[in-house]
Each structure stands twice: as structure tokens, then as C-alpha cells.
Chains A and B, each alone.
Chain A
Amino acid sequence: MFAYLIRKLGVIAPTFFGVTLVAFVFIRLLPGDPVLLMAGERGMTEERHAKLMAEFGFDKPILVQYGVYIQDLFSGDFGTSIITKQPVFKEFFTLFPATMELSFVAICIAVFVGLPAGMIAATKRRSVFDHVVMTGALTGYSMPIFWWGLLLIIFFSGILGWTPVSGRISLLYYFEPVTGFMLIDSLLSGQSGAFKSALSHLILPSIVLATIPLAVIARQTRSAMLEVLSEDYVRTAKAKGLGRGRVIGMHALRNAMIPVITVIGLQVGVLFAGAILTETIFSWPGIGKWMVDSIFRRDYPSVQGGLLLIAAMVMIVNLVVDLLYGLINPQIRHRD
């Protein structure tokens, strides 16, 4: 297992190096003077320009600049936002729990609905249920989620008036963040109605964000299950006279779970791309909306830092999934 970990890290290290290179190059590829972009000012004097140039290190050779950039990264300096003048690292982790909460609830919905749906569809192959689930899954997979979100807003917020249109919680409630998860914090605060408000804000965005992973998980579970159900050991188990529930639950499901877990792990990147759109539509104060806003506000240091932090996050999650996968399935661990 340790050797496996080392091997995985050996693959990840150059990728991380490449990611830092992308983030580093990004700000230098933007059209316009990098000093003006980094400072977020226009029409500065020659002297100030020269001073800032030296301050940002743009006057040094490009390799030295990159060295300094890496050094800064390792000391936790991911740049400073032009707009808020706050360190990007701090901004990122202030907003991160909001995205985390949304993604967590979304992936829970996706797993708890998608997994059983796919399983039942597989065991009742070619039934009406199977067709409904597969049509639904394909539709979900093809969904432009930004439009889906707007439709849900029209229906549940506009026509029925059940849910709020944007934000994380009603302005009536205020409490200091403890965990950063609004659902938990609202309970901890003990204010009546706070939890309900937080939940009603969360429900639509998490459904929207769950849509594509849900579809993917349902499809993957179904096809993995179908494959396993045709295996000899399942037939043997049936022939031994084991009950249907036991065959499916004990023998088939376990083996079908392996590809499904991989797919769930792969959804992290998908979730993040989805979070960009979902958070924008629902004005959800998370990382996705912050990145889009930063791009529009030309807050390039934030974009640069955010890009790197997000890629690092995705890589870490994928590494963890890979390790878990290796833990479950020794074959993977010992391959090549």
C-alpha cells in the first residue's frame, strides 16, 4: 500500500508542478501590462509603475519570477485580491465552506437517489421502471443546468413561492460561523426558524448541482449491476438457492460498487464546474461565484490563486479516491 501511495504521488507531483506553471503563466498571457493588471490601477505615473514593477518582481528574469512564485506558494502566499485587498488564500477558505456544503448535499442526493434507482433498474431490466429511470438519467445527463436552475426558480420560487431565490439564509438571522456549514451553524445558534431558512435556501441549488452526477451514477450503477448479474458466481449463488435479496445485496452489489465508487470520485471536477453555474444562478456565496465575479472584476490575482487552489483540491480528492480504491481492490494496487 505504501509503495502504491508513493507511485501515485510520483504521478501527482509533476502534474502539480504543471498546474503552478499554468497559474503562473496565466497572468502573463493576459492582454495588457501585467503591472497594471496586478495592481488593478489605471493611469499610474512612471515612477509608481517602476516601483510596482520591482515590487511584483516583473523586472527579474522569468525563471527567477517563477522561483519566487513557487517560494511564495510554499509560504502560503497565494497573492492578494485587488478588490478586497485580502489575501487570496483567506478569501478562498472563507467562501469554501459554502461550496463544500452545497457540493456535499448535492453528492448525497446523487448517491442516495442514483444508486438505488440504477440498482432497481438493473434488476428489473426492460421494465417500465427501467425505461423511466434510463430516460430520466439521459435527460439529466443532457441538461443545461443553468437553465434547469432557472426553471426551478420560476416554478418553486415564482409560481409556488415555496423557496427563496438566492443566498444561503434569510437576512433575519445572523450568527457567527462555527463550522461554516449553514445547516449545522443554524442549528447550533438555537434561533428558531434559522435551520428551516437555511434548508429552504439550500434545496434548489443542491438539486440543480446534483442533476448530472445523479444521472451519471444511476447509469453507471445500472450497467455495472447488469454486468455483475450475468457473472457465473451470481448464477451459482442463485443455484445454491440463496434468496433474491441476498444474491443482489451480498454478492452482486459489492462487486458492482467498485466502478461506481470510481465514478463518484470522478464527479468532484464535474461538481466544481457545476458549482460555477449553480452558484451564479442562485447567488450562492461560494468559490464558483467568486471565481466568475473575479474574472468579471478583472481581479486577476484572485483568479490566479483560485485556479491553483481549486486544481490542488481536485487533485487531492482524486488522490484520496485512488487510495481508497486501492484499499478496496488489491488488484489495482499491484497493477503495473
Chain B
Amino acid sequence: MEEVLAASQEVDTRPVGRIALLQEFWSYFSENKGAVAGLFFFVAIIIIAILADFVAPHAPNEQFRNALLQPPFWVNGGSTDFLLGTDAVGRDILSRLIHGARFSLFIGCVVVSVSLVVGVILGLAAGYFRGRVDTFIMRIMDVVLAFPSLLLALVLVAILGPSLINAMIAIAIVQQPHYVRLTRAAVMSEMTKDYVTAARIIGVGRLRLMFITVLPNCMAPLIVQAALSFSSAILDAAALGFLGMGAQPPAPEWGTMLAEAREFILRAWWVVTFPGVAILTTVLAINVMGDGLRDALDPKLKRS
């Protein structure tokens, strides 16, 4: 027996187990300096969002009547009380941005979890059963994809009524087909492999085969997609907020803040600039991280 093991180790001597896999992943991931920076930035935003009540200098909706549209501290007329200035009703912009991080992360988490779970189940069903089930599911996904995403989200919100929750539902529905397609493709390629045939012959049950045997081997593209759709969920939610169809004022959601700031664009640049910087840097950090994830998880690129 030991001889056999020794022989097989010659073929593949890579360490196994969760920790070793993580270490291998990290060694690839950390090669990409940008991705690591993106990860740290993202973690920093998460911490700031969690500690928003302690980090923010003021309450997000507290109005300072004697400090309306005050510029940032480095501009003439600004003060260090309000580092990034105040908006038209005297609310501290920095505090609102810090609290706004909660909204964006919450939106990203909810949208990704919902669309991932539902998308994976549908994709798994389509790829596993094929035939009519497959055709039925994929045709529905084609219909969803036929509409420009933002338009469909807008219309869904018009049906459900404008609110943050409904915006999240709409975005989750719009993002769903990507997960379904990815899962289906991955499942279909896994199903032809020997280990699946072996599991079938042993008599592994259908659900166990789908979720425990096949699914874990389809995770790499899904993880990358999850990172990318986290950032596009934040962008779409901000766009809906900007159009007045997302989070409603006075919620300090970044897109909603931009919508409120629009009329002051030529008078007070800071009320427009900072919420956008917050959206851009967060989305950029996640995308850089997503690129790194893809490179680290993609076996084709690993070897080269």
C-alpha cells in the first residue's frame, strides 16, 4: 500500500488540505500588488462601515444651521469641524459618506447572496438535468438579458415602488442570469469527468451529487463573478439612487447624496465630488481585487 502511495506522490506532490490550498491561493494572489492594495482598501471600508457610529465626527442626519454649504477645510471658509464640508442643509459630508459605506456594503452583500444562491441553484439544475429543464431556464435568462440591465431594474422598481429593498431585489434579478450561465457551463464540463461517473456508479444520490460532488469544483468562476457583481451592484444601486428610484432621502446612500447635490454643482463642487469619489474608489478597489482573484484562481494563467 505504501509503495502505491509513494508512486502516486511522484505524480502529484502538491500539498493538500484547506490551509495548504489557501496558502497556494495567497501566494498567487499576493503576486498582484494592486489586488492586495484593493483587498486592504476594501477591508478598511468594511471596518469603517462597522464602526461608523464611532468613526464619524457627527451624526449623518444632524443639521448645522449656521454652516450651510461650507467648503472643505483646506478651502477658504472651511473649518476642521467639517473636514469635507457640509451640504445644503448643513449636514457633515464626511459623516454621511462614512455612514453611506454601510448602505453600499449592505447592498453588495444582499444582492450577491441572493443572486448567487438562486443563480447557482438554477444553473445547477439546468446543467445537471439538461433537456427541457435546461431549455426552460435558459430561455427565461435570455429574456432577462434582452433588456438593458439598468432599464429592467428601473422598471422593476417602478412596479415594486422606489425603496432601497426594492432596488436590491431589482438588481439581484438583473444580475441573476450571469450566475446561471456560469454555473451551467461549469457543471456541464464537470459532468463529463471521471469522478462524477465514479460517484454515480457508487450510487451517490442526486442532490448529493449536485451540491456536494459537483458544485465545489465549479466555485472558481463563481467567486470571481461574485466579486465583480458586488461592485456592479454598488454602481447600479447608486445609479438607481441617483435617479430617485433607490434609497430615499435623507438616507446617506452615495447615489442618493449625488442626486440631492445635483442642483448645487456649479456653486459647491464638494457636495458633488466626494460621494462620487467614494463610489469610484470602492468599486475600483473591488474590481482590482476581482482581477487578482481571477488570476489566482484561473488554472490556465497559473501555469504561465
B47 lies within 8 A of chain A by Cβ: no
B51 lies within 8 A of chain A by Cβ: no
> In the complex, what's the smallest C-beta–C-beta distance from A312 to chain B, in angstroms?
8
Does B258 lie within 8 Å of A314, measured CB to CB?
Answer: no
In the complex, chain B residues whose CB is within 8 Å of the CB of A273: 148-151
B276 lies within 8 A of chain A by Cβ: yes
Majority SS of interface residues in chain B?
helix
Does A14 lie within 8 Å of B265, measured CB to CB?
Answer: no
> In the complex, what's the smallest C-beta–C-beta distance from B68 to chain A, in angstroms?
20
Does A314 lie within 8 Å of B147, measured CB to CB?
Answer: yes
Which residues of A from 260 to 297 have beta carbons under 8 Å from B? 269-270, 272-273, 276-277, 280, 291-292, 295-296
B287 lies within 8 A of chain A by Cβ: yes
Does B149 lie within 8 Å of A138, measured CB to CB?
Answer: no
A18 to B140: give the CA distance in the assembly, Å: 7
Does A147 lie within 8 Å of B279, measured CB to CB?
Answer: yes
In the complex, chain B residues whose CB is within 8 Å of the CB of A249: none
Given A138-B287, A142-B287, A151 contacting B146 (CB threshold 8 A): no
In the complex, chain A residues whose CB is within 8 Å of the CB of B50: none
B275 lies within 8 A of chain A by Cβ: yes
B62 lies within 8 A of chain A by Cβ: no
Does A147 lie within 8 Å of B140, measured CB to CB?
Answer: no
Write out, one digit per residue, whether chain B residues 232-248 have a CB within 8 A of any chain A CB (1) or not (0). Answer: 00010011001111000
A29 to B170: give the CA distance in the assembly, Å: 14
B118 lies within 8 A of chain A by Cβ: no
> In the complex, what's the smallest C-beta–C-beta distance from B285 to chain A, in angstroms?
9
Query: Which one of A151, A276, A295, A314 contacts B276 once the chains associate, using CB atoms below 8 Å?
Result: A151
Does A150 lie within 8 Å of B265, measured CB to CB?
Answer: yes
A145 to B239: give the CA distance in the assembly, Å: 9
Given A138-B284, A147-B272, A314 contacting B148 (CB threshold 8 A): yes
Residue on A nearest B259 in the bound complex, by CB: A146
A242 lies within 8 A of chain B by Cβ: no
A141 to B280: give the CA distance in the assembly, Å: 10
Q: Total interface residues on B, using CB and 8 Å?
A: 41
Given A26-B159, A150-B258, A310-B147, A14 contacting B287 (CB threshold 8 A): no
Majority SS of interface residues in chain A?
helix
Query: Which one of B243, B272, B283, B288 contacts A280 once the chains associate, using CB atoms below 8 Å?
Result: B243
Residue on B nearest A311 in the bound complex, by CB: B146
Residue on B nearest A158 in the bound complex, by CB: B266
Given A15-B143, A138-B287, A151-B273, A277 contacting B242 (CB threshold 8 A): yes
13 A-B residue pairings within 8 Å (CB atoms): A30-B158, A144-B239, A144-B242, A144-B255, A146-B258, A147-B258, A147-B272, A150-B265, A158-B265, A277-B150, A291-B154, A295-B245, A303-B155
Q: Which residues of A line the B interface, CB within 8 A?
A: 11, 14-16, 18-19, 21-22, 26, 29-31, 138-139, 141-144, 146-148, 150-151, 153-154, 157-158, 269-270, 272-273, 276-277, 280, 291-292, 295-296, 303, 307, 310-311, 314-315
Known A-B contacts: A18-B143, A142-B280, A144-B238. Give 10 more (CB < 8 A).
A31-B159, A142-B231, A144-B283, A150-B262, A151-B273, A151-B276, A273-B148, A295-B155, A303-B158, A307-B155
9 closest A-B pairs by beta carbon, nearest first, are A147-B276, A18-B143, A273-B150, A272-B148, A142-B284, A142-B283, A273-B148, A15-B142, A144-B279
